Structure 1
Amino acid sequence: MKGLMELYSKEEIDNLFSETRLINLLMDKYHLIPKKRIMTKNQILVEEGLDNERVFYIKQGIVAFTRNESIFNFEQEGHFIGLETFLFNDIQPYTIVAMEKMEVLLFVKEEILDILMGLQEGWLYLYLLNKAEQQRIQKNCIHLHLKGNDRSRKMLADLAKNFGKVEGEAIVLPKCFSKKIVISYLGLSFNTGKSLIEKLQRENFLLRPEKEKLFRVNKEFC
């Protein structure tokens, strides 16, 4: 793999091996025909501990990753689910649930792997997807080592950067990030999380909600 990586510059890797290019490769060049699915809010895509032979490509919407009913990650449109760390393991290591109504493309994992295994570049795609998953896990571990408010501030700032939209002085999270969802992600009890949110609002890290826009992170802190 190291020798293969040396054939490409970092810029070429970023340009040539994105998940957008992968979905185009699978559908346009190799003519895989996925099934289109509309997922409803709270619908489970794959369930922890069960066999999983499917791969999803998120066309629109956001999913939450949970383990033992605790949320530890999110993913949004433009990304694959099912080609990451547990590539050769059909047992699903976590539950993935739709946070809102969403559209996905459903592939058979074996069909994708058959194509990628036959391509020199295919191994690079898989390597980069695995690397991205490892980086997410490492980030979660770093969060766990932070203390008190610093941990929650960092996690909320990361959510804002990855999923939010700038509106004036705030970066606003989509409305599917409810108070219950965010508090679960922070690893707090509901009452503790509610008190923390109020404290962060007093400190101006979180700006006051506006209608359905519950989480408005002050962009000065991001």
Structure 2
Amino acid sequence: MEEKIKSLKEIHLEKMEQGKFDYDHFLKFLLTHRIPYKQRTLKRNTHISIENQPFKHIYFIESGVISCNRDKNIIGFLGEKNIVGLSNPYTNDNSFYTIKVLQPTTVYEFDRADMLTMLLGFQEGWLFLYANNHKKEEMLFNKTLLLQEAAEHRLLVLLKEVARLFGEYRDGILVIPNYFSKTLLANYANLSTKTFTILCNEWTETGELVFDNESLAL
């Protein structure tokens, strides 16, 4: 299997570097091949999957925010143009993450078995799977490296990421949506809530950090 993917990757390397196997192309590929789907809006606090438990659907996120947890640790947050449910696609029917909806999330919902059956019948299908799995591994790798950094630097990098993806980052000011709680962000940065609060208070006092509506709840 790895040799097959390596061979296909070499053949289509230029297309991969050009983003031809990204979210938009992946979704278009599925719709073109008439894979059945439902468009749904998932409510806040819905659990899409529980780690190490079987799951039946794959979700293409059009809008919204979800959290990805592994062993009770938040690995990352995903929003629009991300895919949920394709980790370990070849050998494991169990979810790699616990996925929770933080904000109402609109998705394309596909049956996992139907999608994989179709994808594995096409050369391009293997590469779409490879590209998606590579993105998951990259997220894990980057988080692991970041956890080796000092607490203040680690938290600042993560807050910048959250602001850039889900809030605002303008003129050196980080604006964080208020649905990211202290507990949630402290877990993400692998900090105690107390340490998180002390560091954030310093940045809010200098005007570098703003929590939307100033209502960051525990």
TM interval, short-chain normalised: 0.7 to 0.9
Residues 144, 151 of structure 1: 8 Å contact kept: yes
Q: 1:86 to 1:8 in 2, by over 3 A?
A: closer
Q: Deviations over 1:79-115 (max 9, x none)?
A: 2111134553112232100001121221111111111
The equivalent residue for 1:219 is: none
Match of 1:46 among 5, 30, 49: 49
**Cα RMSD, aligned residues only:** 2.3
Match of 1:8 among 8, 12, 20: 12
Q: 1:15 to 1:86 in 2, by over 3 A?
A: closer
- Provide the aligned length of Structure 1 versus Structure 2: 212
Q: Distance in 2 between matches of 1:101 and 1:191?
A: 29
Structure 1 unaligned blocks of 5 or more: 215-222
Match of 1:98 among 96, 101, 111: 101
TM-score by length of 2: 0.85
Secondary structure of 1:118's partner? coil
Kindly state the Cα deviation for residue 167 of structure 1 after the two structures are TM-superposed: 4.4
Q: Deviations over 1:125-168 (max 9, x none)?
A: 11111111111011011011112212212222233333333445
The equivalent residue for 1:182 is: 185
Structure 2 residue 130 is matched with structure 1 residue 127: yes
Q: Distance in 2 between matches of 1:105 and 1:143?
A: 32
Q: Distance in 2 between matches of 1:86 and 1:107?
A: 14
Structure 2 residue 206 is matched with structure 1 residue 191: no
**1:99-178 equivalence runs, <5 A:** 99-178=102-181
Residues 172, 213 of structure 1: 8 Å contact kept: no
Q: Larger deviation: 163-172 or 135-144?
A: 163-172
**1:19-30 equivalence runs, <5 A:** 19-27=23-31, 29-30=32-33
Q: Deviations over 1:58-79 (max 9, x none)?
A: 1210100113433221111112
Name the aligned partner's letter for residue 211 of structure 1: N
The equivalent residue for 2:61 is: 58
Secondary structure of 1:157's partner? helix
Q: Distance in 1 between matches of 2:170 and 2:209?
A: 12
Secondary structure of 2:11's partner? coil
Q: Percent identity?
A: 25
Q: 1:185 to 1:12 in 2, by over 3 A?
A: closer
Structure 2 unaligned blocks of 5 or more: none
Q: Distance in 2 between matches of 1:141 and 1:69?
A: 15
Q: 1:137 to 1:161 in 2, by over 3 A?
A: same
Secondary structure of 1:133's partner? helix
Secondary structure of 2:96's partner? coil
Secondary structure of 2:92's partner? coil
